[in-house]
Structure 1
Amino acid sequence: MARRIRRARDPLGLKRALSDRLLPGLVAAMALLAALALAGSRGAEALKERWQQGAAAAVTVQLPPEQAGRMEDAMALLRARPEVAWAEPVNPERMHELLRPWLGEVPALPLPSVLELRLHNTALDPAPLQRALSDAIPGAEVEAHGIWVARLAALARSVQGVALAVLALVIGVAVAVVAVATRAGLASRRQAIEILHDLGATQSDIAGRFARRIGLLAAGGALAGAAIAVPALAALSGLAAPLAGGMVQPWSALPWLDLALLPPVAGLIGWATAQLSVRRWLRRLP
């Protein structure tokens, strides 16, 4: 009796024709690659925004050690400039902290006095500011970071483009894998399909059974791939934390929404691909 019930629920024998190991395993690998590509794209976008909004607007002013006593004059001149939005001196203790990774314990050497300032418009040319400051305080130097930030932003856009291209490639490969698996299932169950078709089973019924089976297998595989991606992405996020200022926790930086969407999207891709493949195959039957 139980055997008859199983046959009634699966008259095409799809559980035997469509393996619950091979297809989910391949989809899991595709989902892992898709998760890495999505995380790379999101991370590149976040870094680009951080660089453009942070370092691009920052300008550093250095006063030589012999001009250290003119810090107040430099501050007054900078704050009076219309293009300067904010200006503050860098604390000596912070200077030592910034230099410690390269010099260890900073020796008792005369260090230049450093000021940080931000411009109202990052596109402004800092040359007039440099001339005004040099005329007032000989030896003072203005260093704008906009050009380097622009190059880093271009690099981030390139990384983002590559990640999206990889994602498109992964989707294409996943569609091809599902199509091949569907055709293999059709070939192995050809006789049963022809019998049901001759008995009056519609294309929608046959295609729907294949699509549901493959959609569930694809969704399950993508769920496994997303689960594997979580610790890998957390480790990569921890490595990239210094680039984000070291303030972001690895687990909070993960693209949780993208990871949650992988199984239903993979299931939908599997379902749609199976529907199209089966219907095209059925149209060729006599």
Structure 2
Amino acid sequence: MSIFTDVWRRAQAMRADRRAADETDIRPDMALVPAASIAGRALVTVVAIMTFLASLTAGAAILIADASRGWQDQVAHEMTIQIRPTIGRDIEADAAKAAELARKMRGVAAVRPYTKDQSEALLQPWLGTSLDLSELPVPRLIVIALDPEVRLDAAILQRRLAETIPGASVDDHRLWLERLAIMAKTVVLVAAVIFALVLIAMILAVAFATRGAMAGNREIIEILHFVGAADDYISRQFQRHFFRLGLRGGAIGGGSAILAFFTASTLSAWWRATPSGDQVDVMFGDFALGPNVYGAIVLIAAGIAIVTGFVSRVIVFRHLRDLS
């Protein structure tokens, strides 16, 4: 311990030549890296912001991906028969005949024909309620619930409908499924790119902060290194310091992200009774935080703290190797 005490005293003397007399004296029991500093608080703020942005990105991607899977599951278990009005034919009779034909097909679990009023009600969100739709050729829809254990041959159903009912068509929602899959993959890809950019920016911020802390303690680091202090000991001091800063910033950013999602969930519950709220609920769900979202935010906060400590350790190691 005497050699380290002597090192601290020599470092204090070297600093005294360059600093004002009213600065805080360095003692042998002080930490190698100051526990509290303006640079440290600034780094905590940067890490908190980065963690918040990364958590929001990951949480939004998870929510949209879950909603997309729900849409795909719902669409994949249904088909729709559309009966377009044809001159000289009774559309109600054609709809009943199509429903009866669908019920006889293997793989059909249930058939639900839409009445004229129900079909017109589907157009009201786009055309409004003041428009009289009785004179318009509104098609009839028949929703087919598919049996998950038996595959329905949509081509055979389409051929039988075409032979029996002119103007009938089958929509298996394949186009919608492809679009939903593309949208979900695009959201995940964009989220991954944003997360990578946030991580790179945070690594650069930690690198600058580490170099700044090393510059402020350059004399002490060099003396400890030259008198035989292990590089692992010196780098571990920086690693612990920056890990604590990263953990603090990650906790603040992750907690803020959880609060943001909770606020969005509360607001969506208030808006759910309104038309705009129903649309948001259908598109993105109710913003409820599931275990996967909580887990992602906690992992991001912990991972950023680990990366912060690791980056500082690597930079210090490289600097000490250059001194050798």
Range into which the TM-score falls when normalised by the shorter chain: 0.7 to 0.9
Alpha-carbon shift at residue 225 of structure 1 (Å): 1.6
| From 140, 153, 159, the counterpart of 1:113 | 140
Distance 2:118 2:225 in 1: 78
| From 262, 271, 277, the counterpart of 2:309 | 271
| From 29, 32, 42, the counterpart of 2:62 | 42
CA deviations 1:227-249 (Å, max 9, x no partner) are: 33234445666489736637943
Are 1:23 and 2:47 an aligned pair? no
Identical-pair percentage: 29
| From 27, 52, 55, the counterpart of 2:72 | 52
| From 185, 188, 193, the counterpart of 2:213 | 185
Asked if structure 2 preserves the Cα contact closer than 8 Å seen for 1:47 and 1:244, the reply is no
CA deviations 1:250-278 (Å, max 9, x no partner) are: 23358111122232211111111111111
Tell me the residue number matched to 1:80.
104
Counterparts in 2 of 1:89 and 1:184: CA distance versus 1, 3 Å? same
Tell me the residue number matched to 1:103.
127
Are 1:251 and 2:288 an aligned pair? yes
Asked if structure 1 preserves the Cα contact closer than 8 Å seen for 2:63 and 2:285, the reply is no
Counterparts in 2 of 1:92 and 1:235: CA distance versus 1, 3 Å? farther
Tell me the residue number matched to 1:281.
319
Tell me the residue number matched to 1:230.
258
Are 1:130 and 2:155 an aligned pair? no
Alpha-carbon shift at residue 49 of structure 1 (Å): 1.6
Counterparts in 2 of 1:251 and 1:11: CA distance versus 1, 3 Å? same
Alpha-carbon shift at residue 147 of structure 1 (Å): 1.1
SS of the counterpart of 2:229? coil
CA deviations 1:82-141 (Å, max 9, x no partner) are: 253442223666545533322332636164432101446899774432231132223323
Alpha-carbon shift at residue 212 of structure 1 (Å): 0.9
Asked if structure 1 preserves the Cα contact closer than 8 Å seen for 2:44 and 2:246, the reply is yes
SS of the counterpart of 1:81? coil
Q: Which structure would you say has the larger Rg? A: 2
Counterparts in 2 of 1:244 and 1:124: CA distance versus 1, 3 Å? farther
Asked if structure 1 preserves the Cα contact closer than 8 Å seen for 2:82 and 2:168, the reply is yes
Q: Which structure 2 residue ranges, 5 or more long, are not aligned?
A: 1-23, 269-275
Counterparts in 2 of 1:68 and 1:241: CA distance versus 1, 3 Å? closer
User: Which shifted more, 9-18 or 270-279?
Assistant: 9-18
Are 1:172 and 2:200 an aligned pair? yes
Kindly provide the amino acid, as one letter, of the partner of residue 88 in structure 1.
R
Asked if structure 2 preserves the Cα contact closer than 8 Å seen for 1:35 and 1:258, the reply is yes
Distance 1:234 1:274 in 2: 34
Distance 1:247 1:27 in 2: 28
Counterparts in 2 of 1:30 and 1:240: CA distance versus 1, 3 Å? farther
Distance 2:281 2:165 in 1: 35
SS of the counterpart of 1:109? coil
CA deviations 1:185-218 (Å, max 9, x no partner) are: 1111011222333454322221111111101111
With the length of structure 2 as denominator, give the TM-score of the two structures: 0.74
Asked if structure 2 preserves the Cα contact closer than 8 Å seen for 1:18 and 1:181, the reply is no
Kindly provide the amino acid, as one letter, of the partner of residue 115 in structure 1.
I
Kindly provide the amino acid, as one letter, of the partner of residue 150 in structure 1.
E
Kindly provide the amino acid, as one letter, of the partner of residue 249 in structure 1.
D
With the length of structure 1 as denominator, give the TM-score of the two structures: 0.83
Asked if structure 2 preserves the Cα contact closer than 8 Å seen for 1:218 and 1:267, the reply is yes
Alpha-carbon shift at residue 50 of structure 1 (Å): 2.1
Kindly provide the amino acid, as one letter, of the partner of residue 206 in structure 1.
I
| From 181, 187, 200, the counterpart of 1:153 | 181
Asked if structure 2 preserves the Cα contact closer than 8 Å seen for 1:17 and 1:185, the reply is no
Counterparts in 2 of 1:60 and 1:36: CA distance versus 1, 3 Å? same
Counterparts in 2 of 1:9 and 1:250: CA distance versus 1, 3 Å? farther
Distance 2:288 2:107 in 1: 40
Kindly provide the amino acid, as one letter, of the partner of residue 117 in structure 1.
I
SS of the counterpart of 1:14? coil
Asked if structure 2 preserves the Cα contact closer than 8 Å seen for 1:32 and 1:226, the reply is yes
RMSD across aligned C-alpha pairs, in angstroms?
3.2
Number of aligned residue pairs: give it: 282
